[in-house]
Amino acid sequence: MGERDLYRGCLLGGAIGDALGYPVEFMSRDMILRKFGKDGINDLFISKGGKALISDDTQMTLFTAEGIVCSETLRRQGKMSEPSDEVFSAYGRWLFTQGEKRLEPDMKGWLIDHVDLHNRRAPGKTCLQSLLSGMKGTWQSPHNWSKGCGGVMRTAPAGLFYEKGEAFLKGVEFAAITHGHPSGYLPGGALAFMIASLISGSVIREAAEEAIEVLESWDGCQETASKLRLSINLAGSETDDVEAIARIGEGWVGDEALAISTYCAIRHGSDFRKALAASVNHNGDSDSTGSITGNLLGARYGVEAVPAGWIDPLEIKDVILRAADDLYDRYTGTPDWKIRYGMGKKSVNL
Ligand SMILES: [Mg+2]
C-alpha cells in the first residue's frame, strides 16, 4: 500500500464517518435506536438525490487542505506565505459557500467553484460567528473562549501535509483560527500529530500516546490530555462501547470528540464498519466523532480498508480524492495546478 492510499483513506474515511453520523447528529442514542433498530445506524443514509451527504466537517476539512496547498504553491513560486493565513482565507471561501456573503472572500482555489459544496449542513455557530468577525484567531491571542469540536474536526489535512514535528503546531494554528479555548485548539494539534504519526507507520495507540507527550508541553492541556489517556485505557478494557463513550463524554467539545474517536479507532482497529458505527451511535456530536474516527482509520489502514459500498454513494467523492492527491503531490506546477491553486479572480455566481 502506497502512501497516497493513506491520504485518500484519511479524507475518504473522514467523509464517510461524517456522512454516517450526519443524519443522527442531533439525536440521542435512544432516538437513534428507535429509528434505526437495536443496533442503531450502521449503513449510509441515502438522500433523495441518491447520495450519502457529507456535512460541514468534511467541507471544512477540504478547505483546510486547499489553504495548505495554496500556501505551498505560493512558497514554491518564491513568495512569502504563512500557511495559517491561507487556511484562514480558505475558511472565508467556506463561509461564502454557507450563504454568508457579507465579506468578500479571497477568490483563490478551486473548491468554491463546486456547486455541491454550496450547501449548509448544520455548520457550527462558533465557526460562522468567528469567521464573520473577519478576524483570524490565534492561540496566542484568541478572540473567543470556545472549546467546541469545530476546531479539531477539520485539521486532519495538516497531519497529511506536515511531518509530526510541525503537524501539531499547524493543527493548533488552524483550529485556533475560530476556537480560542485550549480544549478547542489543542485537540486540533493532537489530531494532526496523530495523523502524521500514522502516515509514518505508527499504530493508533502509539500515535495517541505520543500525542499526549506533546500535549503535555502546552498550557491548558489537562482536559485534552486526560480525555485522550482515558480513551486509551477504555479501549484496552472490557468496557463496552456504549459505556466507554458515555464515560468520555458527548463530543460536542474538542477534547471529547478527539477522545471518543481515538477510543473507537483503537478498539475496532481495521474494522471500519464497527468502528464507525460505534463512533456515531451515541448521544453526542455523531458526525464529528464519525469524521475524526474515519480520518484516523483511513490514515492507518488506507483506502483499501474503506468498504467499497460506502465509497460509491458518497457525495463529492471525486473532490475528496482530488484534495487528497493534491496534498500528497504538494506542488506540481502544471498549468492545471496553477488554475486550481492560483490567484485568478473568479466570477462566482452560485
Ligand atoms: Mg457536521
State in Å: Cα 22 to ligand 1 middle.
Answer: 6
Between CA 142 and CA 310 the distance in angstroms is 39
Task: Please check whether residue 179 is in contact with residue 150, taking contact to mean a CB–CB distance below 8 angstroms.
Answer: yes
pLDDT of 342 reads: 78
Confidence class for position 100, pLDDT limits 50, 70, 90: very high
State in Å: Cα 287 to ligand 1 middle.
Answer: 5
pLDDT of 231 reads: 98
State in Å: Cα 155 to ligand 1 middle.
Answer: 14
State in Å: Cα 182 to ligand 1 middle.
Answer: 21
Q: Is the pLDDT of residue 108 over 60?
A: yes
Q: Is the pLDDT of residue 257 over 60?
A: yes
Between CA 183 and CA 193 the distance in angstroms is 15
Q: Which CATH number fits domain 3-341: 1.10.4080.10, 2.170.190.11, 3.20.20.70, 3.40.50.300?
A: 1.10.4080.10
Q: Is the pLDDT of residue 325 over 60?
A: yes
Overall residue count recorded for the chain in this entry: 350
pLDDT (mean) for 72-85:
96
Can you say how many angstroms the Cα of residue 87 is from the centroid of all Cα atoms in its chain? 14
pLDDT of 224 reads: 98
Q: Is the pLDDT of residue 72 over 60?
A: yes
Between CA 89 and CA 174 the distance in angstroms is 11
pLDDT tens digits for range 21-42? 999 999 999 999 999 999 999 9
State in Å: Cα 25 to ligand 1 middle.
Answer: 7
pLDDT of 218 reads: 98
pLDDT of 270 reads: 83
State in Å: Cα 308 to ligand 1 middle.
Answer: 23
CA 27, 29, 31, 35 torsion-angle sign: positive
Task: Please check whether residue 311 is in contact with residue 320, taking contact to mean a CB–CB distance below 8 angstroms.
Answer: no
DSSP conformation letters of 170-203: HHHHHHHTT--SHHHHHHHHHHHHHHHHHHTT--
* Residue linked to cell 453520523: 21
Chain-wide mean pLDDT for the chain?
A: 96
State in Å: Cα 193 to ligand 1 middle.
Answer: 22
Confidence class for position 344, pLDDT limits 50, 70, 90: low
Confidence class for position 269, pLDDT limits 50, 70, 90: confident
State in Å: Cα 120 to ligand 1 middle.
Answer: 10
Tell me 109's DSSP state: S
State in Å: Cα 60 to ligand 1 middle.
Answer: 9
pLDDT (mean) for 147-172:
97
State in Å: Cα 290 to ligand 1 middle.
Answer: 10
pLDDT (mean) for 233-256:
98
Q: Is the pLDDT of residue 347 over 60?
A: no
State in Å: Cα 334 to ligand 1 middle.
Answer: 34
Between CA 263 and CA 276 the distance in angstroms is 11
pLDDT of 103 reads: 93
State in Å: Cα 279 to ligand 1 middle.
Answer: 14
State in Å: Cα 124 to ligand 1 middle.
Answer: 7
Q: Is the pLDDT of residue 321 over 70?
A: yes
